[in-house]
Structure 1
């Protein structure tokens, strides 16, 4: 199973997809939501905390944060910078679609 499939499977069925997608669709807004200490950098833990704010908890938050972080950290330096967030919305949308496709079977 791919990490994308694992991440899609980790999405709770009852999640408010429009609210989460909305948060991820504006890179500057997302940066301000994630960067609580104002250092301009986001860690995997910061991403996990945001997911928890949208009702994704426990193992699901860890799996999703790990996958999203790995995909978003463009230069693989271990932190997400504002320029990395441009692709975040598309990644999340793809996970929602993948989950929907799997549940249609």
Structure 2
């Protein structure tokens, strides 16, 4: 799996960070948006679909979904719960800062 820096570097220059940050602003609403089949679970694949919708394509979406999922899945259950999404904004901000500065946050 790529490092955080490699994942940050893979972010496209035209990435809609404001839109994605707004999507995660309300964890309950973000969870409902991610949980397409209403089974009460959000997986890495669900997260990858969301990232693709915000302009992150291909391997960058896969790498970022894995990294974000790993950081959000606090109880290591293999799924993300609404309470886990509270930290999503900070993770995205950290990755963007890494992309701009070229160094780990």
TM-score by length of 1: 0.90
Name the structure 2 match of 1:79.
Answer: 79
Match of 1:18 in 2: 18
Match of 2:42 in 1: 42
CA distance in 1, matches of 2:4, 2:33: 24
User: TM-score, length-normalised on structure 2?
Assistant: 0.90
Deviation per CA, 1:28-74, whole angstroms, max 9, x where unpaired?
A: 12101100111211000000000011111100000100000000000
Structure 2 gap ranges (5+): none
Give the superposition deviation at 1:3. 2.3
How large is the Cα RMSD of the aligned pairs? Answer: 1.5
- Runs of at least 4 residues of structure 1 off by over 6 A? none
Which structure has greater helix proportion?
Answer: 1
Q: Distance in 2 between matches of 1:25 and 1:99?
A: 22
Aligned length: 102
Counterpart in 2 of 1:32? 32
